[in-house]
Chain A
């Protein structure tokens, strides 16, 4: 029996430690641990509720928009204006969030995940005239001539022995890695047109957004979006398919817990004040890898266990009454992440969950995209619940959302309101559920004396990266690791590939 510790688990947001036990080449136990505590839920108390969406964005610099949305939705509901958001405000929120979905998914595949599969050093063999590739070739040659491989950082050192693309495919993928850097920047520029700056926007506020649409900005947004859609269709999707074909065994690796949960994202109208039932593009719901049956959700059934987390506050609380009292030396604790559960169940969240739930709900476009992809690989739906299934679902979702954004953009009405008016109530409660690119996100707020009396966040990596709950059930990433065969304990590619497929 051997123990492998990967700390830091890199190319993610934040600080994550993965510890696995390997017996006869197979992972028999796994622990996922968040190693940093900044105390947002504590520092929010006592502040003006209107400041929440600005502070919470700083929880995650990759998905700040989703935190802003969860906060704004919780304030919409606390202020009693959830059904009064003007269409411009609703649509602009969707467009700002949509732009960050595209940004985040491209960043995830090319800049966070791809180095697990693509051998950048093969560019040394490149013979063409592409300036980007030649500058990378010079960069590699310089390191090899100096006999100093450290000069190849950040692409080196790395695990060795399992890069399977052809030389040409490695070269093309490297060119796309560079192109994708520009594309994700473009997606942020697109969001900025309506939100001031990225990351950490200033436009998403309770009631809607601060800046209304103008014709010039709509046109500007449209052409940026066109370029991104072209990249998603012509580059991102084909690259995911090429990588998936070369690493097809990863359709059977990293299955996970098999229960999928989504709180839904992209409001199609705001008539419904109960966010569990609001009309959304990607549906709220719960489904299972074994039967694909759609189930509606009730956010009252969410609870957070802390038996194995570094908190001394009570375990099993609903987040509306949640507490966060750190105790780093707590016996049995091994992470700063709490263990959120839905109706007691361990749930995977993220693009795979959203696509599977929207599929099970009966959305014809999503169904067709997923079925076509499965047909291409001659695979059954079970293959979706895997490392490559998650990458494929993420890429398909990027296309699905980007295509919808065109319709939304054309529905904007310059000159009409973009924000509802409100006043801070003395006492109120609110819940804001939404989906970050990497999964379900929900915030619960209590207001007392016009101040934040309690604030609890349940972000995506609390779900996926959660520790064991009070009953001892491992979290989704832990479950996805357990049972995996490690080919080479000195180069345990499998661990990073599985964990990163969740985009923690």
Chain B
């Protein structure tokens, strides 16, 4: 059974009752007493096309690190009750290659509105995108740009996996030789209306990706509450600095003077005060550590404008004198950034590479207010 777009949209409307019913199935037991969780013939197949563009494959590798569900659960089992993600095209893991793989891709895409497109990587747009070719069809190289447009327009939705697909990321860093940009920008230029959910991070935490996908599968895309940068508030709703375990030493005015010190890393250039993600409480790699936990810095890898706007990544930029105590709290007012901080970010960007992140810092400083309803989710 395959899900069509109408079913999918209807999914957004129905919710608790059917979700309850779905979960009932998990309580069935096989004859030997083991719970039935494997995909069955009533399973709905959700075809996935995973398109790698200007990427490092790090987002895929991070997804492979998913602890619960495991990647085996994701690929083989019903990742949520009654639904199976069917990975029809993923160049890092699929058995097929070349023409055979591209035929399967084409076949999947013919079923318009019935597949989810995941884009991993930034999209080259300069010179028609020739800096990133992702395959050859009938003797002609096909670009990541062409594929993003042609597969994107007919997808039921697009998940932009990682900061590159979400905002351009490192390939788009100044001087951006390949004209790399985000899925959202490509869609805006091509007039494509397919909904896009950004799951940034360099790489994104596997929970962020799996949690977002699961929410969509269970309750529909309407259930994913997004911040003004198109990221799910469930994972990107809190500022790192505020939920950091070292916030206590910050409050006491204890600052690390070198990387091995156990105090607040702000004076060394930590980007926690301007970065929204739940790393300090979720922790990385099955809860083993995180960036500040390793006595290093948050480098702001989930933010639009990364890396330029966060540069220098490992130092505090001259002129970036912000009082993190004065930062607005998101539940009151989600401008996200105070005028002082916006000026500071401009200074960071200016110090990094000429002109690079200035436009982005302006964008952040005018970050629109998130509606309060979303904040409560």
Residues of A within 8 A of B (CB): 5-15, 17, 35-40, 42-43, 46-48, 50-51, 54-55, 58-62, 64, 107, 111-112, 115, 120, 129, 131-132, 134-136, 138-139, 142, 145-146, 150-151, 153-159, 178, 181-182, 184-185, 188-189, 191-203, 205, 210-212, 326, 328, 417-419, 421, 496
A157 touches B295 (CB 8 A): no
B35 nearest in chain A by CB position: A131
A202 touches B61 (CB 8 A): no
A116 nearest in chain B by CB position: B95
Is B101 in contact with chain A by the CB < 8 A criterion? yes
Contact flag A210-B295 (CB < 8 Å), given A43-B175, A196-B289: yes
Contacts of A40 in B (CB 8 A): 170
- Cα of A181 to Cα of B259 in the assembled complex, Å: 33
Contacts of A43 in B (CB 8 A): 170, 173-177, 353
Is B359 in contact with chain A by the CB < 8 A criterion? no
Q: Could you list 7 further interchain pairs (A-B, Cβ under 8 angstroms) beyond the known A135-B37, A200-B202?
A: A5-B98, A7-B141, A50-B314, A61-B59, A145-B41, A150-B86, A195-B289
- In the complex, how many angstroms separate the beta carbon of B268 from the nearest chain A beta carbon? 10
- Cα of A201 to Cα of B39 in the assembled complex, Å: 36
Is B296 in contact with chain A by the CB < 8 A criterion? yes
B residues 50-64 in Cβ contact with A at 8 Å = 52-62, 64
B59 nearest in chain A by CB position: A61
- Cα of A215 to Cα of B41 in the assembled complex, Å: 51
- Cα of A120 to Cα of B72 in the assembled complex, Å: 14
A-B contact pairs, 21 of them (CB 8 A): A6-B97, A6-B98, A10-B91, A15-B91, A35-B133, A35-B134, A36-B133, A36-B144, A39-B178, A43-B170, A43-B173, A139-B38, A154-B95, A155-B95, A185-B70, A189-B285, A198-B284, A200-B301, A203-B294, A210-B260, A421-B258
- Cα of A143 to Cα of B28 in the assembled complex, Å: 22
- Cα of A415 to Cα of B40 in the assembled complex, Å: 55
B289 touches A185 (CB 8 A): no
B residues 332-365 in Cβ contact with A at 8 Å = 352-354
Which 7 A-B pairs have CB atoms at the shortest separation, nearest pair first? A61-B58, A196-B294, A197-B284, A202-B296, A158-B95, A192-B285, A48-B312
Contact flag A188-B65 (CB < 8 Å), given A47-B353, A210-B260: yes
Contact flag A200-B58 (CB < 8 Å), given A51-B314, A131-B34, A181-B71: yes
Q: Per-residue 0/1 for B230-263: is the Cβ within 8 Å of any A Cβ (1 yes, 0 no)?
A: 0000000000000000000000000000111000
B289 touches A156 (CB 8 A): no
B42 nearest in chain A by CB position: A142
Contact flag A153-B64 (CB < 8 Å), given A38-B170, A210-B296, A419-B259: no
A39 touches B177 (CB 8 A): yes
B295 touches A211 (CB 8 A): yes
B2 nearest in chain A by CB position: A148
B30 nearest in chain A by CB position: A134
B141 touches A150 (CB 8 A): no
B101 touches A62 (CB 8 A): no
Is B90 in contact with chain A by the CB < 8 A criterion? yes
B97 touches A178 (CB 8 A): no
- In the complex, how many angstroms separate the beta carbon of A290 from the nearest chain B beta carbon? 33
Contacts of B67 in A (CB 8 A): 185
Contacts of A156 in B (CB 8 A): 95-96
Is B323 in contact with chain A by the CB < 8 A criterion? no
Is B77 in contact with chain A by the CB < 8 A criterion? yes
B97 touches A199 (CB 8 A): no
Q: From the candidates A11, A134, A151, name the one contacting B86 in the complex (CB within 8 A).
A: A151
Q: Chain A interface: which of B124-132, B149-157, B367-375?
A: B124-132
B293 touches A35 (CB 8 A): no
Q: Per-residue 0/1 for B269-285: is the Cβ within 8 Å of any A Cβ (1 yes, 0 no)?
A: 00000000000000011
- Cα of A111 to Cα of B95 in the assembled complex, Å: 9
Contacts of A202 in B (CB 8 A): 291, 294, 296-297, 299
- Cα of A230 to Cα of B352 in the assembled complex, Å: 47
Is B16 in contact with chain A by the CB < 8 A criterion? no
- Cα of A428 to Cα of B281 in the assembled complex, Å: 41
Contacts of B202 in A (CB 8 A): 58, 200
- In the complex, how many angstroms separate the beta carbon of B230 from the nearest chain A beta carbon? 21
Is B185 in contact with chain A by the CB < 8 A criterion? no
- Cα of A184 to Cα of B354 in the assembled complex, Å: 41
Q: Per-residue 0/1 for B80-114: is the Cβ within 8 Å of any A Cβ (1 yes, 0 no)?
A: 00000011111111111111111110011000000
- Cα of A12 to Cα of B290 in the assembled complex, Å: 27
Contact flag A61-B177 (CB < 8 Å), given A188-B285, A210-B259, A210-B294: no
- Cα of A157 to Cα of B103 in the assembled complex, Å: 9
Is B200 in contact with chain A by the CB < 8 A criterion? no
A9 touches B296 (CB 8 A): no
- Cα of A50 to Cα of B259 in the assembled complex, Å: 13
A139 touches B132 (CB 8 A): no
Contacts of A37 in B (CB 8 A): 131-132, 177-178
B104 touches A150 (CB 8 A): yes
A142 touches B294 (CB 8 A): no
Contacts of B58 in A (CB 8 A): 58, 60-61, 64, 199-200
Contact flag A48-B72 (CB < 8 Å), given A59-B56, A150-B88, A199-B58: no
B70 touches A182 (CB 8 A): yes
- In the complex, how many angstroms separate the beta carbon of A162 from the nearest chain B beta carbon? 13
B142 nearest in chain A by CB position: A7
Contacts of A198 in B (CB 8 A): 65, 284-285
- Cα of A405 to Cα of B44 in the assembled complex, Å: 46
B133 touches A15 (CB 8 A): yes
- In the complex, how many angstroms separate the beta carbon of A8 from the nearest chain B beta carbon? 5
Contacts of A120 in B (CB 8 A): 95
Q: From the candidates A36, A142, A159, name the one contacting B54 in the complex (CB within 8 A).
A: A36
Q: From the candidates B45, B92, B299, name the one contacting A11 in the complex (CB within 8 A).
A: B92
A135 touches B94 (CB 8 A): no
Q: From the candidates B57, B95, B103, B131, name the one contacting A14 in the complex (CB within 8 A).
A: B57
Is B182 in contact with chain A by the CB < 8 A criterion? no
Q: Per-residue 0/1 for B187-205: is the Cβ within 8 Å of any A Cβ (1 yes, 0 no)?
A: 0000000000000001100
Is B135 in contact with chain A by the CB < 8 A criterion? yes
Contacts of A138 in B (CB 8 A): 38-40
A115 touches B180 (CB 8 A): no
Contact flag A48-B311 (CB < 8 Å), given A8-B134, A138-B39, A202-B294: yes
- Cα of A184 to Cα of B122 in the assembled complex, Å: 26
B96 nearest in chain A by CB position: A157
- In the complex, how many angstroms separate the beta carbon of B357 from the nearest chain A beta carbon? 12
Contact flag A46-B260 (CB < 8 Å), given A150-B108, A198-B285, A202-B294: no
Interface centre among A154, A157, A188 (most CB of B within 10 A): A154
Q: Per-residue 0/1 for B139-172: is the Cβ within 8 Å of any A Cβ (1 yes, 0 no)?
A: 1010010000000000000000000000001110
- In the complex, how many angstroms separate the beta carbon of A311 from the nearest chain B beta carbon? 12
Contacts of B296 in A (CB 8 A): 196, 202-203, 205, 210-211
Is B313 in contact with chain A by the CB < 8 A criterion? yes
Contacts of A38 in B (CB 8 A): 54, 122, 131-132, 170-171, 178, 180
Contact flag A115-B95 (CB < 8 Å), given A13-B56, A37-B132, A60-B56: yes
Q: From the candidates A17, A203, A418, name the one contacting B136 in the complex (CB within 8 A).
A: A17
A47 touches B312 (CB 8 A): yes
Contacts of B61 in A (CB 8 A): 61-62, 199
Is B286 in contact with chain A by the CB < 8 A criterion? yes
A5 nearest in chain B by CB position: B136
Is B43 in contact with chain A by the CB < 8 A criterion? yes
Contacts of B72 in A (CB 8 A): 132, 135, 178, 181
Is B7 in contact with chain A by the CB < 8 A criterion? no
